[in-house]
Amino acid sequence: MCHQAVGLIQAEIERLGIPTASITLLPEVTRAVRPPRALSLPYPLGYPLGAPR
Partner 1 sequence: MAQVSDLPLWLRAYLRMYRWRRVDPVPLARRRKPVAECRVALATTVGLVPPGAQPFDETVKGGDFSYRIIAADADVARLEEHHRSESFDHAGIALDRNLAFPLDRLRELAAAGEIGEVAPRHLSFMGSITAPGRLSTRTAPEAARLLVHDSVDLALLVPV
Minimum distance of partner 1 from residue 39's CB (angstroms): 9
Which residues contribute to the site for partner 1 (CB under 8 A)? Answer: 1-29, 32-37, 40-53
Minimum distance of partner 1 from residue 8's CB (angstroms): 5
The three-point CA angle 49-52-20 to 5° equals 20
User: Cα dist. 39→25, 29, 31, 43, 48 in Å?
Assistant: 9, 13, 11, 12, 11
Minimum distance of partner 1 from residue 43's CB (angstroms): 7
